[in-house]
Amino acid sequence: MADVSGHGVSAAMLTAIVKSAFHASHVDAFDPLTVVQRVSAGLAAFSPERFVTLVAALISPEEGCLRYVNAGHPPVALWGGGRELVWLESTGPLVSAVLPGTWEAQVVPMSKGDHLLLYTDGISEVLADEDGGGAEDRFADAIKRAPEGGSTLLDTILADVKRKLAGEIQQDDLTLLTAGRL
């Protein structure tokens, strides 16, 4: 999951670079660190104010693990199968032409019945309180209400977002993704 800065043609070009990097990584078995490095190389020609936050994650059922790189993106929620909710924080800076690219791949166990929740900052900013905090608590509450993940969880979070917006127009994208190990 990725979130590019800006709007319009330049943001669309950034999005194309990110998608290309993900697709091209099939030759490297979609290694998360390679994906982020490919995105970084693609952004080299862009101006300094353009950047991307992203999470590249690979679930390996054979190894019973999740391998991921979080490049300045909001934390990923991991729960289920008897596991308490944990937050997978950033493992390096956002991707930009002006920041040196030092990212670290992390590996965490992922058992049958575990779930992931990924989202863009458009969601967390709406759910945050006036001080900018509290979004993780709201996600945790939604997970308690829909622990099985999937579309039920996404619908629960989107209902919370709609309630919090109270008819106001959302200025940023609202992107959610959930995945689980069966």
Of the candidates 148, 160, 153, 143, the one whose C-alpha atom is nearest the C-alpha of residue 176 is: 153
Mean pLDDT of 109-126: 95
Q: How confident is residue 103, by pLDDT bands cut at 50, 70 and 90? A: very high
Please provide the average confidence, as pLDDT, over all residues in the chain: 92
- Residue 170 DSSP label: P
Q: For residue 70, what pLDDT is reported?
A: 98
Mean pLDDT of 60-64: 94
Mapped onto helix, strand or coil, the DSSP state of residue 143 is helix
- Residue 138 · residue 127 · CB < 8 Å: yes
> Alpha-carbon distance 63 to 44, whole Å?
34
